[in-house]
Amino acid sequence: MINETDIQFLRQAIDLAREGVEGGKGGPFGCVIVKDGVVVGKGCNGVTSTNDPTAHAEVVAIRNACRRLGDYQLTDCDVYTSCEPCPMCLGALYWARPRRVIYAATRHEAAEAGFDDAFIYREIGLEGGERKIPFVHQPVEAATELFGLWRVMGDKKLY
């Protein structure tokens, strides 16, 4: 299922991760997105250098690829990333809908290097009140009404 070309793209992602660290951009993570054998987007972690906690390699690469493709979907794309995506990046990938995701290091290796990936994976399964950051549900009628409006709205762009 994984061939030599896949491993070369994976190595490109790891090289980006290394360059990012060496350039003081952020943590050791890199990502490359490929469509029809061509790199259409790439990125490395830029959290600390850009004051953006969402600037993980995968998110940066997804944005980069979508800008280039002029689309909010990564149809038929493969995503190569130096490490297993954290829950934020996993979610971003589901919204972008590529064909597959190939990663080298695991969330456990990331955790051993001091990153919260495995911790956040555990927190997701908890109820809002049990989480380290409390997630409080406060129903407001207007929010429910808005979904009702959306459902019957014509001429809307789905994603």
Catalytic residue among 4, 19, 22, 58: 58
CB of 39 to its own copies, least distance (A): 17
Those residues whose C-beta lies under 8 Å from the C-beta of residue 73, and which sit 6 or more positions away, are 66, 96, 97, 159
Catalytic site includes residue 141: no
Of the candidates 80, 71, 73, 76, the one whose C-alpha atom is nearest the C-alpha of residue 94 is 73
* Complex with its own copies: residue 6 or 39, whichever CB lies closer: 6
Kindly tell me which residue out of 5, 23, 67, 76 binds its own copies, with binding defined by CB under 8 A. Answer: 67
Q: Which of residues 8-47 bind its own copies (CB under 8 A)?
A: 10-11, 14, 17-18, 21, 26-28, 47
> Binding of its own copies at residue 4 (CB under 8 A)?
no
Query: CA 96 to CA 63: how far, in whole Å?
Result: 10
Interaction between residue 51 and its own copies (CB under 8 A): yes
Tell me the site size for its own copies, rule CB under 8 A.
Answer: 91
Give me the half-sphere count of Cα atoms (radius 13 Å) on the Cβ side of residue 34.
20
Pairing of strands 30-35, 100-105: unpaired
Query: Do 90 and 96 form a contact (C-beta atoms < 8 A)?
Result: no
Of positions 75, 123, 127, 130, contacts its own copies by CB under 8 A: 123
Query: In terms of CB distance, is 37 or 70 closer to its own copies?
Result: 70
Asked whether 32 and 74 are in contact (CB, 8 A), the reply is no
Q: Which residues within the stretch 76-115 sit at the binding site for its own copies (CB under 8 A)?
A: 82-106, 109-110, 112-114
Catalytic site positions: 58
